[in-house]
Structure 1
Amino acid sequence: MKLKNLVCLLLVVFISQQYLVSQVCFINSTDNVFTFSGRVDHTEEGAVRFDWPGVSVNFQFTGETLELCIDGGARNYYNVFIDGDLHKVIHAPADTIIPVEGIKGNGWHSCRIQKRTEGEMGMTVFKGVRLAADAQIRALNDSHRRKIEFIGNSISCGYGTEGKAPEEDFLPETENVDKSYAFISARAFNAECYVTAHSGLGVVRNYGDKEPVSTQLATLPQRYHQVFDMDTSLVWDFSQWQPDVVVINLGTNDYSTDVSPPKEVFINRYLEFIRQIRSYYGDVPVFCVNGPMRDEPAYSNVKEVVERARNQYQDKNTYFIGIPNYLLNTTSDLGSDYHPSYRGQLKMARHILPVIANVMNWEYDDSEFETLMY
């Protein structure tokens, strides 16, 4: 009798497991229903890899069941937007299946999975999603008419934007590129946003380097051509995505300590980087930003870069935007490690938006700044 009961129990468990399996379907990341914003690699079978900040996976699905199959490593975090609103922040320290709970309604939903953290936090391997067995999935059509690339350092990465005080040390959990001036500005222009940035990097000298010109760790211009920030093995195909505008915010780390590069070395390398960008994108407007974490001599040197580009090299589509360090209130506008908080990043975006709008003859939506008060 006991043996019969055990057999019955095992049969029930087996049937139940088969029933549960039948309730979900897996869609591999290589399926064309997924669209990606940012530099990604499709060469690994059954997976899509990326590490730059702000890269996103986009799709639409029906139903209330959504599980994400992702390996993000111990230090990466992701924003999950459902129907345009932030629904959840996830952490995938291993090859994980993460349920996204609380989705309401059986109709169509949009989903965007956005990497909050920068490349130094690790590689992301996106495997796909699991949906209810009777769910549908389709590509999310890109509604953006404009494209902007932001090239920079920790400020552009959103380093410490969610930190509560400037005395706080950096944590991956408080880095959120979606709250950087880059994505704030892109939202205002309804533009797709690529962020090619890495904390601590400069044009010729990286933060904390004891030499005036860095030779041990690649600077941002030296890794700009790569598919991945932290892996030199693959070269990015720039024909895949052509921006309407390029914004460069570099120089802060070059002049972060008493050891700094010679002025002419900095200016010539910056000009070379602009020419490198031109070789990829042609005569797109390039805005060279300085600030707000470092003033002189970075401010004057970046401004001279633009003046030489325009006058000596007849590159009239290069522009300077200076953000003074006194734009930020030190008691309310700073997050971790004295970097701009979300409030500080809002101020930065509001400072540069009118310049870009005037050059491009673009209108922009300033509703995100409504809660910003000095």
Structure 2
Amino acid sequence: MKIGTRSRAMTLAMALVAAVTTMVHPAEAATGDGSPSDSNIRYFGRWDTRSTGAYVSEWAGAYVVVGFTGTTVKLRQRRSIDLFTSIDGGPWVSRTNVSGTVDLTPSRLPPGTHTLRVSYRPVAGSYHGDAVFQGVVLDSGARTVVPGVPSRIIEFIGDSITVGQRSSQQALTAYGWLTGEKLGAGHTQIAVGGACLYPAPDGCIGMQDRFLKTGLDAAGPDWNFARYQAGDVVINLGTNDRSHGVSGPQFQSAYTTLLQRIRAKYPQANIYAMETFHRRYVTETTAAVTARNNAGDSKVRFINTEGWITPATDTADGTHPNDAGHRKIAARLAAAIG
């Protein structure tokens, strides 16, 4: 081989090696090892999975379901967080300010197959816990298994009332979570305290737009709606807009836009527009629903909530329902959406 030919051949070979070395191969989901990317684990709600070792959900009401064998289970956490856990359908256990490897079974479980559910306290107000799921640690030789989970998913879109603020366990004692549990459905609360429907100029988060996002940050990634399809979507918005100067026409336009966006993302879903408990923007909400019905969308309904709760006894502060108030709302809402 001539020197020039040999040189060109070596250059080509080095280029091929460099190309192979720098090529990014998509990571395959683990199975059975308890890592966040373990394909046996089931996630409800919107989880940011860009980091394979740490999954994050910023919305209220997201949770994880893990089936596993063995007699113990530990939770991997990054930094301090308040969270709730339930094993084998038992009562939810509150775990405050935990971090690192969190032992959930100081007393061993009976041998067999078990189910763990984990939900994190939502970051809100002055609370800034690290709601990051980094997987589970099991007995030597134990593995995760696919848990039994509902196929129906209900999504609740709202503000602090839907978050469950001022109730005893926040998202877990909020009407959305309770309604989903009553109906035997998977559920999630796409909600944050202080949210408006319309993106007000003073900075109030507008759920008209945030509905499309993975998390709270407007500059964050859009949500991939192929991850799951909600069968039902319940909206409870409008409590905060008035105090942020949102006019009736602005609110109605934003509600119509949100309904259109929900329909585009969930073509088969039933969509329910709840009347706010303070009866704000009722005319505008019903007009937005009517507009969708007139456009041929018969699966959008207005839900009249008058008389569901009594503010003096069923709220903590005249606005946010207490535990009893949320239970009353859940009973009426579960009956309404079936």
The aligned counterpart of 1:104 is: 109
Post-superposition shift, 1:88?
1.9
1:183 aligns with 2:177: yes
1:305 aligns with 2:288: yes
The aligned counterpart of 2:4 is: none
Contact 2:233–2:272 at 8 Å: present in 1 too? yes
The aligned counterpart of 1:29 is: 36
| From 282, 289, 292, the counterpart of 2:267 | 282
Unmatched 5+ residue regions in structure 1? Answer: 1-24, 163-174, 206-212, 358-374
| From 296, 316, 322, the counterpart of 1:335 | 316
User: Which 10-residue stretch deviates more, 192-201 or 275-284?
Assistant: 275-284
Unmatched 5+ residue regions in structure 2? Answer: 1-31
The aligned counterpart of 2:16 is: none
How many correspondences in the alignment?
A: 304
1:193 aligns with 2:197: no
Contact 1:71–1:93 at 8 Å: present in 2 too? no
The aligned counterpart of 1:54 is: 61
1:82 aligns with 2:76: no
* Cα 1:119/1:72, change in 2 over 3 Å: farther
The CA distance in 2 between the partners of 1:67 and 1:157, in whole Å, is 27
* Cα 1:217/1:298, change in 2 over 3 Å: closer
What secondary structure does 2:193 align onto?
A: coil
What secondary structure does 1:79 align onto?
A: strand
Post-superposition shift, 1:329?
3.4
What secondary structure does 2:119 align onto?
A: strand
What secondary structure does 2:265 align onto?
A: helix
Post-superposition shift, 1:151?
0.6
1:223 aligns with 2:210: yes
1:321 aligns with 2:326: no
The CA distance in 2 between the partners of 1:58 and 1:283, in whole Å, is 25
What secondary structure does 1:85 align onto?
A: coil
* Cα 1:318/1:87, change in 2 over 3 Å: closer
The CA distance in 1 between the partners of 2:202 and 2:160, in whole Å, is 20
* Cα 1:267/1:226, change in 2 over 3 Å: same
The aligned counterpart of 1:248 is: 235
The aligned counterpart of 2:160 is: 154
What secondary structure does 2:134 align onto?
A: strand
* Cα 1:264/1:338, change in 2 over 3 Å: closer
TM-score by length of 1: 0.74
Post-superposition shift, 1:66?
1.8
AA aligned to 1:46 is: G
* Cα 1:92/1:69, change in 2 over 3 Å: farther
What secondary structure does 1:335 align onto?
A: coil
The CA distance in 2 between the partners of 1:191 and 1:264, in whole Å, is 35
Question: What is the identity percentage for the equivalent residue pairs of Structure 1 and Structure 2?
Answer: 23
Contact 2:248–2:281 at 8 Å: present in 1 too? no
AA aligned to 2:182 is: A
The aligned counterpart of 2:325 is: 344
* Cα 1:87/1:265, change in 2 over 3 Å: closer
The aligned counterpart of 1:266 is: 251
User: Which 10-residue stretch deviates more, 183-192 or 126-135?
Assistant: 126-135
* Cα 1:197/1:118, change in 2 over 3 Å: farther
Post-superposition shift, 1:316?
2.2
Q: Deviations over 1:93-122 (max 9, x none)?
A: 65x111113353122211011124256645
Q: Deviations over 1:67-91 (max 9, x none)?
A: 1111354xx4221010011252123
TM-score by length of 2: 0.81
Q: Deviations over 1:270-293 (max 9, x none)?
A: 10111111111124221000222x
AA aligned to 2:291 is: R
* Cα 1:65/1:337, change in 2 over 3 Å: farther
Post-superposition shift, 1:64?
3.2
The aligned counterpart of 1:145 is: 151
| From 32, 38, 45, the counterpart of 1:38 | 45
AA aligned to 2:263 is: R
User: Which 10-residue stretch deviates more, 82-91 or 330-339?
Assistant: 330-339
Q: Which runs of 4+ in 1 moved over 6 A?
A: none
Q: What's the RMSD between the two structures over aligned residues?
A: 2.4
* Cα 1:77/1:320, change in 2 over 3 Å: same
What secondary structure does 1:327 align onto?
A: coil
Q: Deviations over 1:265-324 (max 9, x none)?
A: 1101110111111111124221000222x22x423322222223323x333221111222
Post-superposition shift, 1:188?
1.8
